[in-house]
Amino acid sequence: MKIAIVGYKKQDKFAQGVTNDEDADLLNFLTDKGLNVVPAIWNDDHIDWNSFNVAIIKSPWDYHNHLPEFLNWLNKLEKLNIKVLNPVEIIQWNSNKKYLKDIAQNGLPVIASEYLDKGSAFDDRFFDLFGTDQLVVKPCVSAGAQNTLTLNKNNLKERTEEIGELLKAEDYIVQPFVEEIKNGEWSFLFFNGQYSHCSLKTPKKDDFRVQHYHGGTISYPTPNPLHIEQAGQYLKSLPQSTLYARVDGVLINNSFELMELELIEPYLFLNNDKNLLENYYQALMVLIS
C-alpha cells in the first residue's frame, strides 16, 4: 500500500512561528512503522496519483486560494479509487464556512453567523441583529485570517466601502466579535473520533488573530473533561468517520462554543510527541485496514 501525505508548495507566511516540521515528523514516524509513505504536493502536475492507494490530505494550506482546482483534484482521486482522508464529501462540505449553518441547525452551540452573497451590500443592521458593538467579517472560503476585518460604528463608513469591494469577488460571513477570544481559542484534536490532545492559542496584545504567523502564542493546558466532551459532540453528526478533526472554539460562561470545525488542513500540534503520533497512527490503521 502506497500512501501520499499531501501538502502544498511552501510559502514562508504559513510557516512563520512554527518551530518544527510536523509533516516531516509524521512522515518519519509512519515510515518507521513500516508504511510506504510519500510526501506529495496536491497541484504538482508531475505526480502520478494513480500510483497511490491512499491520499492523506495533511497540509494543502493554499487550497482556499485555488478552491475549484482543489475540489476538481479531489474528485479525480475518487475516480481513481484512491481512499482519501479526510473523505472528499467531508472536505467539500467543510471548504465553505456556510457549513456552520448546518451545525447550528443540529442544535449545537456555534458563534452566531449571517452570510453575505457575492455582489450583495453590507450595512449596519448586523450590530442590532447580534446585539454587539463590534463585528468580524471574513470570506466564506478562507484560512489563516485572510481578508478578515473587524469593524465598529466608528470605522463603519471606511469598512463598509472596503467590504463592498471584497464582496465583488466572493461570499462573506458576518459574526459578532467574541470578547472571549482574548482569553484564547481552544483547539481539541480528535483522530477517528477519539480525543487525543488540545492546545490554547492566544492572540498578541490588541489583536484578535490567534494564528502563530500573526503573533499568537500557543500553550498546552490541561482541559476540563466537560469541554472535551462538548467538543466531541460536533463530530457525531458527520456522515463519515474522519482521520483527523480539530474543533476550534472559545469558552463562554464555562461552556465550549464552536468557531471553526477544521477538517481539511489543520495544524495538529503533534510537536513530534510519540504518544500523539501513535494516536494518529492507530486511527489511520483502522481507516485503511
Q: What one-character-per-residue DSSP string does 43-58 give?
A: T-TT--GGG-SEEEE-
- Of 35, 17, 33, give the one whose Cα is nearest residue 202: 17
What is the three-class DSSP state of 174?
strand
Min mean pLDDT across 58-67, 174-183, 204-213, 225-234 is at 204-213
Query: How far is the C-alpha of 175 from the C-alpha of 127, rounded, in Å?
Result: 10
Mean pLDDT calculated for residue range 126-153: 91
pLDDT above 70: residue 201 = yes
User: What is the model's pLDDT at position 239?
Assistant: 93
User: What is the model's pLDDT at position 206?
Assistant: 61
Cis upstream peptide for 86 (omega within 30°):
yes
Strands of the 2-7 sheet, one edge to the other: 36-41, 2-7, 54-57, 83-85
Q: What is the pLDDT of residues 236-280, one digit of tens each?
A: 989 999 999 999 999 999 999 999 999 999 999 999 999 999 999
Q: What is the pLDDT of residues 100-139, one digit of tens each?
A: 999 999 999 999 999 999 999 999 999 999 999 999 999 9
Helix (H) or strand (E) holding 6: strand 2-7
User: What is the model's pLDDT at position 216?
Assistant: 74
pLDDT above 70: residue 11 = no
Mean pLDDT calculated for residue range 52-80: 96
User: What is the model's pLDDT at position 146?
Assistant: 79
Min mean pLDDT across 80-89, 143-152, 195-204 is at 143-152
Query: How far is the C-alpha of 58 from the C-alpha of 189, rounded, in Å?
Result: 14
- What structural domains does the chain harbor? 2-92 (3.40.50.20), 99-109+180-269 (3.30.470.20), 114-177 (3.30.1490)
User: What is the model's pLDDT at position 203?
Assistant: 78
Helix (H) or strand (E) holding 122: none
pLDDT above 60: residue 42 = yes
User: What is the model's pLDDT at position 140?
Assistant: 96
Residue 210: HSE in the Cβ half-sphere, 13 Å Cα cutoff: 22
The DSSP 8-state label assigned to residue 66 in this structure reads: S
Residues 6+ apart with CB under 8 A from 12: none
Q: Which residue has the higher pLDDT, 153 or 35?
A: 35
Question: At residue 253, what are phi and psi to the nearest 5 degrees?
Answer: 55, 40
pLDDT band at 182 (very low <50, low <70, confident <90, very high): confident
User: What is the model's pLDDT at position 207?
Assistant: 62
Mean pLDDT score of the chain, rounded to an integer?
A: 92
CA dihedral 276, 263, 109, 232 (to 10 degrees): -30
The DSSP 8-state label assigned to residue 197 in this structure reads: E
Q: What one-character-per-residue DSSP string does 83-112 give?
A: EEES-HHHHHHHTSTTHHHHHHHTT--B--
Min mean pLDDT across 10-14, 25-29, 116-120, 176-180 is at 10-14
Query: How far is the C-alpha of 218 from the C-alpha of 123, rounded, in Å?
Result: 35
pLDDT above 60: residue 210 = no
What is the DSSP pairing of strand 36-41 with strand 2-7? parallel
The DSSP 8-state label assigned to residue 286 in this structure reads: H
Query: How far is the C-alpha of 3 from the C-alpha of 72, rounded, in Å?
Result: 20
Residues 6+ apart with CB under 8 A from 153: 124, 127, 133
Query: How far is the C-alpha of 68 from the C-alpha of 114, rounded, in Å?
Result: 24
